[in-house]
């Protein structure tokens, strides 16, 4: 207990609190700008942290990323421009709520349950990280292969419409992911001699294209004729969410737990977690048919899962110094510079430092609530601008955001191509979300499949030899077989009910 008090003394100083506040505001700003990412916010802060003491340095980055991840939901909800592949899981429902004039319902749920998920993940981090990290270390390419397949399967099953169309979307994403040099063989594929194409299809410009540019194209075709219902003034963002918490306590808890568990696996992270949670939510929902039409249930579970996974990613990072994503990689670097060497020993040699970091985590997830409330209040003003004025400006943001990812006009090219693809897909009722996940997880799927085959000398049995791999594998196969069996038992569906 004295350690905790020491740790608190390190954190609760005017200077540290000011730093937390400023970096929170900065993270909120960067995250809320369409096309900018939490990773970018972190990278920009690194040089600043060189000149700080350890605790404020860590606090700066931790707070800014937590804010940026939540704030990424704002353009997702308002303009259908999700900031991360994780938030793409529930952007359909969030945007549908905006179209009904209730953006606060979506953003409030996202805010409150992000915070709950983040706090849950932090508590697990404090109490159980050595144990969880031990389990995470048992994951080799075989286990990751099944996990990725499971994540992709979820994307297909949660998409509205027929699974066949979901599969088509998934293959578009998987194929796009094969472009470039980033494959286990290191061989250029479909590059047509272009150096830029060697870099492959970056998913942020592709995501901006698929979701946002396709929406811009639709608005131009209709000449912005679409009339939105007037935004109904919110009854109070937090009061709505208190009601959600009473209605969906299981969902919030399940999402938080699932997110923490998957987040603790280095490399899997928030993306897979949010999708699996959304699928679980739909599967166990009493009203699965409402998903995709502006239903908050999935938002609650996947939103909590998303942020819990962010906290979970710190488990292997702190215990073994293994970065789970680019953000933890940056922070591990900062930790080293500040003389806090991640590893099991850090809990023994510098406990007050680690507890100070934990306190910062909790603070970051709490300060998110008031700042997020302000951001939501501000952001709703955007919707009072007529669409015909807003859309060309959004198009500009899309282009600058796509450019900023790799500081290259090539990103805008990717955005353009995927904008057209996204438009055609939606015209044909092909869901967009599985394509995103295919693009994001395609390289991981390939990496783990090919290396597993090399390691097992070509034997498929090896995918079931290790206990965790066998469990995940059988579960994934069951997820696919059960609907097929049900389909076979029902035989041909009666004519007319296939698809609208």
Partner 1 sequence: MQFVKTAAALGGLLILAGTVSAQEYPERPIQLIVPWGAGGGTDAVGRLLGAEIQRELGVPVNVVNRTGGSGVVGHSAIANADPDGYTIGIMTIEIDMMHWQGLTDLTYEDFDILAIVNADPGGVMVSAESGFDSVEALLESIKSEPAGTYKASGTGQGGIWHVGLAGWLLSEDLAPDHVTFVPSQGAAPGLTDMVAGGVDIVPSSLAEGRSMIDANRVVALATMSAERQDAFPDVPTLSETTGSDWTVAVWRSVAAPDGLPDDVKTKLMDAIEVAYNSDAYQTFMADRGFGLRWAKGDDATEIVANDDAAFGEVMKQAGLAAE
Partner 2 sequence: MRVTDLTLGLLTLLGGIAIYISAIEFQAIPGQAYGAGTMPRAVALVTGLTGLFMIVRAVMEGERLPGLNLADWTKSPAAIARLVSVLVLIVAYIVLSPRLGFLPTAFAVMTIGMLILRVRWWLAMIVALVAAIAIQQSFGRLLLVPLPRSDFLSFLW
Among 20, 40, 91, 375, binds partner 2 (CB under 8 A): 40
Q: Which one of 84, 110, 129, 141 is in contact with partner 1 (CB under 8 A)?
A: 141
Stretch that binds partner 1, among 96-104, 110-118, 184-192, 471-479 (CB under 8 A): 184-192
Asked if 215 is part of the footprint of partner 2 (rule: CB under 8 A), the reply reads no
**Spatial CA neighbour of 366 closest among 70, 53, 9, 94:** 70
Residues in region 14-33 near partner 2 by CB under 8 A: 30, 33
The residue among 65 and 307 lying less far from partner 1, judged by its C-beta, is 65
Residue 449 in the binding site for partner 2 (CB under 8 A): yes
> Taking contact as CB under 8 A, which single stretch among the options 72-80, 110-118, 237-245, 491-499 is the one that binds partner 2?
491-499
DSSP string, 138-198: T--HHHHHHHHHHHHHHHHHHSSS-HHHHHHHHHHHHHHHTSBS-STT---BS-TT-HHHH
| Cβ contacts of 185 within 8 Å, gap of 6 or more | 450
Q: Using CA atoms, how far apart are residues 455 and 470, in angstroms rounded to an integer?
A: 16
Q: Per rule CB under 8 A, is residue 480 in the interface with partner 2?
A: no
b/e map 276-306, b = 16+ CB within 10 Å: bbbbbbbeebeeeeebbebbbbbbbbbbbbb
Give the integer Cα–Cα distance in Å for 332 and 322. Answer: 8
Contacts to partner 2 from residues 165-204, by CB under 8 A: 165, 167-168, 171, 174-175, 178, 183-185, 187, 189-190
CB of residue 330 to partner 1, shortest distance in Å = 4
Within its chain, how far is the Cα of 31 from the centroid? 13
**Pick 56 or 316: Cβ nearer partner 1:** 316
Two tokens, residue 132: 């969880």
Q: Which stretch binds partner 2 (CB under 8 A): 58-66, 220-228, 263-271, 463-471?
A: 220-228
CA distances from 88 to 134, 208, 210, 299 (A): 30, 11, 11, 11
Smallest separation, CB 400 to partner 1 (Å): 15
Q: What is the DSSP letter of 321?
A: -
Residue 330 interacts with partner 1 (CB under 8 A)?
yes
Cα(256)–Cα(448) distance, integer angstroms: 27
Rounded to whole angstroms, the Cα distance separating 426 from 159 reads: 12
Q: Should residue 50 be labelled a site residue for partner 1 when binding is judged by CB under 8 A?
A: yes
The answer to whether residues 209 and 418 touch, using CB atoms and an 8 Å cutoff, is yes
In contact, 370 and 238? CB cutoff 8 Å = no
Give the separation between CA 319 and CA 328, rounded to whole angstroms.
Answer: 12
Cα-Cα-Cα-Cα dihedral sign, residues 160, 105, 22, 352 = negative
Compute the Cα dihedral for 106, 27, 324, 250 and give only its sign.
Answer: negative
Tell me which residues in 66-125 interact with partner 1 (CB under 8 A). Answer: none
DSSP state of 211: I
Q: Which does 339 bind (CB under 5 to 8 A by kind): partner 2, partner 1, none?
A: partner 1
Between 47 and 500, whose beta carbon lies closer to partner 1? Answer: 47
Contacts of 113 (CB under 8 A, 6+ apart): 241, 244, 252, 255, 299, 300, 301, 303, 304, 307
Candidates 38-46, 116-124, 288-296, 356-364; binding stretch for partner 1 (CB under 8 A): 38-46
Distance CA 306, CA 37 (A): 15
Candidate residues 51, 348, 460, 492; the one interacting with partner 2 per rule CB under 8 A: 492
Question: Rounded to the nearest whole angstrom, what is the least distance from the CB of residue 322 to partner 1 in the complex?
Answer: 6
Per CB under 8 A, the segment of 134-142, 159-167, 243-251, 270-278 that binds partner 1 is: 134-142
Q: Which positions from 345 to 364 touch partner 1 by CB under 8 A, shown as an x/- string?
A: x-------------------
Binding at 33: pick from partner 1, partner 2, none (beta carbon under 5-8 Å per type): partner 2
CA nearest to 93, candidates 185, 143, 158, 5:
158
Given the complex with partner 1, which of 8 and 43 has the nearer CB atom? 43
Which residue, 56 or 117, has its beta carbon nearer to partner 1?
56
CB of 194 to partner 2, least distance (A): 15
Residue 337 binds: one of partner 2, partner 1, none (C-beta under 5 to 8 A by kind): partner 1
CA separation, residue 81 to residues 97, 124, 209, 384 (Å): 14, 31, 9, 18
Which parts of this chain interact with partner 2 (CB under 8 A)?
30, 33, 36, 40, 44, 164-165, 167-168, 171, 174-175, 178, 183-185, 187, 189-190, 213, 216-217, 219-224, 386, 388-389, 391-393, 395-397, 399-400, 403-404, 407, 409, 412-413, 415-416, 419-420, 424, 427-429, 442, 445-446, 449-450, 453-454, 458, 492, 495, 498-499
Q: Which residues bind partner 1 (CB under 8 A)?
A: 39-40, 42-43, 46-47, 50, 137-142, 180-182, 184-186, 188, 195-196, 198-200, 202, 266-267, 319-323, 326-327, 329-330, 333, 336-339, 341-345, 406-408, 447, 450-451, 454-455, 457
């Amino acid at each position: 207990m004295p350690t905790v008090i020491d740790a608190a003394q390190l954190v609760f100083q005017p200077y540290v609190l000011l730093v937390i506040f400023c970096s929170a505001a900065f993270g909120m700003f960067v995250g809320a700008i369409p096309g900018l990412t939490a990773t970018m916010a972190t990278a920009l802060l690194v040089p600043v942290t060189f000149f700080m003491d350890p605790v404020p340095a860590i606090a700066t980055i931790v707070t800014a990323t937590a804010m940026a991840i939540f704030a990424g939901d704002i353009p997702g909800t308002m303009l259908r421009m999700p900031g991360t592949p994780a938030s793409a899981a529930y952007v359909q429902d969030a945007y549908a709520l905006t179209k009904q004039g209730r953006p606060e319902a979506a953003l409030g749920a996202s805010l409150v349950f992000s915070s709950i998920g983040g706090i849950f993940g932090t508590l697990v981090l404090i109490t159980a990280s050595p144990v969880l990290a031990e389990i995470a270390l048992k994951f080799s390419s075989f286990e990751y292969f099944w996990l990725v397949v499971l994540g992709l399967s979820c994307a297909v099953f949660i998409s509205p419409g027929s699974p066949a169309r979901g599969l088509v979307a998934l293959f578009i994403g998987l194929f796009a992911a094969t472009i470039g040099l980033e494959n286990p063989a290191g061989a250029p594929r479909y590059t047509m001699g272009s150096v830029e194409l060697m870099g492959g299809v970056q998913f942020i410009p592709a995501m901006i294209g698929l979701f946002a540019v396709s929406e811009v194209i639709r608005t131009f075709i209709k000449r912005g004729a679409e009339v939105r219902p007037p935004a109904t003034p919110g009854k109070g963002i937090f009061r709505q969410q208190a009601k959600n918490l009473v209605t969906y306590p299981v969902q919030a808890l399940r999402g938080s737990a699932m997110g923490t568990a998957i987040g603790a696996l280095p490399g899997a992270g928030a993306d897979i977690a949010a999708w699996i949670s959304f699928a679980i939510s739909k599967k166990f929902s009493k009203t699965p048919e409402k998903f995709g039409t502006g239903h908050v249930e999935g938002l609650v579970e996947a939103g909590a899962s998303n942020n819990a996974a962010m906290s979970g990613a710190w488990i292997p990072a702190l215990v073994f110094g293994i970065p789970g994503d680019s953000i933890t990689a940056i922070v591990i670097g900062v930790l080293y510079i500040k003389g806090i060497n991640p590893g099991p020993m850090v809990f023994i040699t510098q406990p007050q430092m680690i507890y100070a970091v934990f306190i910062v985590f909790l603070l970051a997830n709490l300060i998110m609530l008031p700042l997020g409330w302000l951001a939501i209040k501000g952001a709703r003003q955007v919707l009072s601008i007529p669409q015909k004025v807003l859309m060309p400006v959004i198009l500009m943001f899309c282009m600058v955001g796509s450019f900023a990812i790799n500081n290259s006009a090539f990103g805008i090219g990717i955005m353009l191509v995927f904008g057209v693809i996204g438009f055609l897909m939606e015209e044909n009722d092909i869901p967009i979300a599985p394509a995103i996940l295919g693009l994001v997880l395609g390289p991981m799927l390939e990496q783990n499949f090919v290396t597993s085959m090399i390691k097992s000398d070509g034997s498929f049995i090896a995918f079931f030899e290790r206990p965790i791999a066998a469990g995940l594998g059988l579960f994934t196969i069951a997820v696919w077989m059960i609907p097929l069996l049900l389909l076979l038992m029902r035989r041909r569906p009666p004519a007319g009910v296939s698809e609208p």
